[in-house]
Chain A
Amino acid sequence: MSARNRELLGLIPASLLVTAGFAGVFIQRSNVLSNVSLTYGAIFLGLCVAGHVFIRITLPHADPYMFPLVALLASFGIVMVYRISATDARQQAQWFVLGLVLFAVTVIVFRDYRKLEQYRYIIAFVSLGLLLLPRLPGIGYQANGAYLGVRIPGVFVFQPTEFAKIGFVVFLASYLRDTRQVMVMGARRILGVTIPPLKHFGPVVVIWGIGMLILITLHDIGSSLMFYGGLLAVLYVATDRLSFVVVGLLAFGLGAWYLGTHIPHVHDRVEAWLHPLDPTLYARPGGSFQVANSMFAQAAGGMFGQGFGQATLTVPGSHPVAYLLPAPQTDMIYAVITDELGLFGGVAVILTYLLFVARGFKTALLARDSFSTLLAAGLSAVFALQVFVIVGGVTRVIPLTGVTLPFISYGGSSIVANFVLLALLLLISDRARQAT
């Protein structure tokens, strides 16, 4: 069977899921199974098939599993968002369409994505600019103390960091393609640790500098970990030097420790992470209410969950509506998933992400030039880390951060940016698999 036919078949689970999911929510809402659920399913399937046809024409050799996996995640996401808020789901569907359009634009414009290398410094500066936007007075805004978004009142809300993560990886992949040889050569081993010559530390220092800048700019350990981890991943793949990663993580640890002790809101996040069930911390604004309720929601789900549409999200009879779980459709969506579908649902979602990341790394292995390999590995790593950072925050592996769960959480910037990421991975894959 050809790759594209496999891709087409792969869309069946996504369309079944979206139909069954909407049907489930409808039954729960009003005890009726209307044909609206089938309509939603059909529209969604239509969009996916359109995406598929576009790939069939433009990227015939690309990996056949990535797009169906994304469709599965996105369809699951739209059902979850719909279950939480019908208005949000309608917008999410629009963002999905826009994401597909931007996906197509990326594929057409960067057909030869290697020309991105020419613009690497522009890309680097634009990414830096995007990162700094939320700190600009007037348009930047803080969510729970972290600087992650830009808002022009009445026009739009935008999370530039979602795009910056792609820009940084592109820059670094291109930059390290040139410098990696130099950095590896002439390295010495001291006490069993490989130390490159001092004069070649320049690029590494640049990367660490970017990492620290991100940490200081965003005021957020989790999303900085995502960025910085992505950068270190590219560095590691380029040089195969664990020492860089170890030193880099130590530097990050120091920076995170400094922030955790000196910036009040970061300190609060760390405290909430360590002692979520402490009553005083729970009651304090900006305290552990969200983390604790995330745990409560997961505990309510248990092994198999309470079923689609069954989770308690708000306090009944409260005016104005009091949320038991703040930000259920964005940061906390994983907690809602485990509440309704249990441990099994959560594991299914994580494994779907893992499959996607595995295909990304597979693409990196197949790619025949360094830039492509580094780009594919970096994009996959940053994607995986984003999943880790938000799910890890919700499940209390690390302090909670306001990043989205890719393709599932409600949020335009996230959907669109991740479609661009998908486009780049498929472009690399198409080129890598062309000759084989």
Chain B
Amino acid sequence: MSGPIIRLFGLIVVLFALLIGWTSRWTVFEASSLNNNQLNRRTLIDEQRIKRGQIIADDGTVLARSVPASGQIWTRFYPTRSLFAQPVGYAIVEFGRSAGLERSRGPELRGLQTGLGSVFGQLGGSQRVGDDVDTTLDPKAQQVATAQLQSASQIGSPKGSVVALNPRTGAVLVMAALPSYDDNRPDATGPTTSTFNRSTQAGYPPGSTFKVLTAVAAIDSGKFTPSSTVNGNSPVTISGVPLSNDGNQSFGTIDLTTALTFSVNTVWAQVAETVGRQTMTDYMRRFGFYSKPPLDYPPDELNASRPYAPNGRPYAPGSPNEDIGRIGIGQGGLQVTPLQMAMVASAVANNGKLMVPHLTSRVVDQDGRTVQTIKPSTYAQVMKPSTAQAVGQMMTHVVQEGTGTAAALTGITVAGKTGTASVGVAGANVTQPWFIAFAPVQNPQVAIAVTVERTQGGFGGTVAAPIAKAVMQTLLAEGK
């Protein structure tokens, strides 16, 4: 009977090897996917034991802090509530979800302990404390932006976004979006409550603000100068379909500066067609279109700006099906985020150099030591400095004598561009006003994009430009 006994033992060795194999599967090979599984509450429970660091505005206002709860755990409190909920987000363990900076800066806020310190820290069982995250956000300007969006004349409850950047550094000074929500209660629902961040996630038609990009492509590619003339009569046939100016107004033969100042659709559509699909796509890429903005924000809360086909699918970059003439005037299925349009203004403002946008300025540990400083970095040299100067001059005319006079500031030269996209049913005259700008032109400190989602026939120059003016005024008064 020794044969079968030995074989039986062999079988048991195999069975036990299976046990070891499966144990290694869960403990080692599939451990990280299990640790990150949505159903797994362990990671979150461990996180509750950590006192997360604070999130702080650039004037020291606390935007998020940890408060003790029962059972040696911590919970999050957001003193500024809906004002900063969109950029700051939330990290509430009970929901098993987090969003915004709370999510993208989670490792720092939890305290990235590395090396020997972490080993000894765990052995000693000491309480883990996270690092504070200092942001570039400006509470006063954020307040003004939110109030302005709130009171802009529009259809239904206030909806829209304001994004302001420092064009030299990429620092995000304002990121306001309505509707917002109380980040202490991110699960609450209501007509004026939304966790959807319109500044980074929305896909809006940019309207005529996009002509700034067309102008950059036209001039930087050498195909046009600001004084090149184009026939501005209306209508013209673009991609086989007639395109007309606002009120079907004909301008005759005008130069590009005039065409931007009065936002002449027919001129810019022809310019875009002359510049060509390939060159237009190339410049769009340089500005950051077709990819998610490199913001320190959760990637799935960032939307890439690009043209979409009527069936809702994005066009492949440079697709022959695109109506590049209409894209050149911000139509043709183009969908952009307010953040992207602020980046467009910012690149022109900073001599053609687009900076990587960032919300965090530095990470500071509990002893006050700066652990990490976010240094300005270049995203792309989008255009030659001379092009930036020229387009900046053209935009200055818009504010001085064109469609954007409502954004003019006393004593400070502002460069801007209006946009008024038609949204909704044709003929209902529902519009989405836009304004992008930077100031002061000689020494730009602020680049901004403003949009209000739905108005009854409102224009970029009448609805969005005053909001941009108020926010820029606040920021410049603070010396920003």
Chain A positions within 8 Å of B, measured between CB atoms, are 28, 31, 233, 236-238, 240, 277, 279, 282, 292, 295-303, 307, 312, 315-318, 324, 338, 342-343, 346-347, 350, 353-354, 357-358, 361, 364-365, 370, 373-374, 377, 381, 384-385, 387-388, 391-392, 395-397
Contacts and interface: CB of A to CB of B under 8 A. Distances in A.
A395 B71 CA distance: 31
A347 B30 CA distance: 17
Contacts of A303: 27-28
Contact of A317 (B6, B9, B71): B71
Nearest to A361: B9
Contacts of A346: 20, 23, 27
A343 B23 contact: yes
Nearest to B46: A312
Contact of B9 (A299, A312, A318, A358): A358
A388 B41 contact: no
A297 B46 CA distance: 13
Contact of A238 (B1, B3, B35): B1
Nearest to A306: B122
Contacts of B1: 237-238, 240, 364, 370, 373-374, 377
A176 to B, nearest CB: 11
B374 interface: no
Contact of B4 (A237, A312, A384, A385): A237
B19 A317 contact: no
Contacts of A300: 35, 42
B31 A384 contact: no
A296 B28 CA distance: 12
A392 to B, nearest CB: 6
Given A316-B73, A317-B71, A299 B35 contact: yes
B431 interface: no
Given A296-B37, A302-B31, A316-B71, A397 B12 contact: no
B67 interface: no
Given A312-B45, A338-B27, A381-B12, A364 B5 contact: yes
B42 A296 contact: yes
11 contacts: A298-B23, A299-B40, A300-B35, A316-B73, A324-B42, A338-B23, A350-B16, A357-B12, A361-B6, A392-B18, A397-B22
B410 interface: no
Given A303-B27, A343-B28, A361-B8, 14 more contacts: A240-B4, A298-B26, A298-B27, A303-B28, A315-B45, A318-B71, A365-B6, A370-B1, A377-B5, A381-B12, A384-B12, A387-B16, A395-B26, A397-B22
B13 interface: yes
B20 A317 contact: no
A357 B19 contact: no
Contact of B16 (A299, A324, A373, A388): A388
Q: Which 8 A-B pairs have the closest CB atoms?
A: A317-B71, A299-B34, A298-B26, A395-B22, A299-B31, A343-B27, A316-B71, A346-B23
Contacts of B37: 277, 292, 296
Contact of A312 (B34, B35, B42): B42
A295 B69 contact: no
Q: How large is the interface on B (under 10, 10 to 19, 20 to 34, 35 or more residues)?
A: 35 or more
Contacts of B28: 302-303, 343
Contacts of B24: 343
Contacts of B5: 237, 361, 364-365, 373, 377
Interface centre among B8, B27, B46, B70 (most CB of A within 10 A): B27
Nearest to A334: B23
Given A296-B42, A299-B30, A388 B15 contact: yes
Interface centre among B8, B16, B32 (most CB of A within 10 A): B8
B2 interface: yes
Interface centre among B1, B24, B25, B71 (most CB of A within 10 A): B1
A357 to B, nearest CB: 6
B189 interface: no
B427 interface: no
Given A357-B12, A361-B8, A292 B39 contact: yes
Interface string B138-175: 00000000000000000000000000000000000000
Given A316-B48, A338-B23, A373-B1, A277 B39 contact: yes
Nearest to A297: B42
A331 to B, nearest CB: 15
Interface of B: 1-6, 8-9, 12-13, 15-16, 18-20, 22-28, 30-32, 34-35, 37-42, 45-46, 48-49, 69-73, 122, 125
A395 B37 CA distance: 17
A384 B15 contact: yes
Nearest to A335: B26
Contacts of B40: 292, 296, 299
Interface centre among B5, B24, B32, B45 (most CB of A within 10 A): B5
B12 A354 contact: yes
Contacts of A31: 125
Contact of B8 (A296, A377, A387): A377
A257 B347 CA distance: 68
A296 B37 CA distance: 9
Interface centre among B19, B40, B71 (most CB of A within 10 A): B19
A397 B71 contact: no
B455 to A, nearest CB: 42
A92 B25 CA distance: 31
A279 B37 CA distance: 11
Contacts of A361: 5-6, 8-9
Contacts of B19: 350, 387-388, 391-392, 395, 397
Nearest to A31: B125
Contact of A296 (B2, B32, B34): B34
Contacts of A282: 39
Nearest to B13: A354
A302 B26 CA distance: 8
B13 A365 contact: no
Nearest to B23: A346
Given A238-B1, A370-B1, A395 B23 contact: yes
Contacts of B41: 315, 324
Contacts of A343: 23-24, 27-28
Contacts of A233: 8
B447 to A, nearest CB: 44
B4 A316 contact: no
Interface centre among B26, B30, B41 (most CB of A within 10 A): B26
Nearest to A353: B16
A221 B39 CA distance: 27
B18 A397 contact: yes
A285 to B, nearest CB: 15
A342 B16 CA distance: 17
Contacts of B16: 350, 353-354, 384, 387-388
Nearest to B123: A307
Contacts of B18: 392, 397
B4 A324 contact: no
A280 to B, nearest CB: 11
B358 to A, nearest CB: 34
A316 B28 CA distance: 26
A124 to B, nearest CB: 22
A350 B49 contact: no
Nearest to B27: A343
B49 A237 contact: no
Nearest to A304: B27
A347 B20 contact: yes
A31 B46 CA distance: 20
Nearest to B75: A317
Given A312-B42, A315-B45, A350-B19, A301 B27 contact: yes
A299 B40 CA distance: 10
A370 B4 CA distance: 13
Contacts of A350: 16, 19-20, 23
Nearest to B22: A395
Contacts of A374: 1
Nearest to B30: A299
Contacts of A237: 1, 4-5, 8
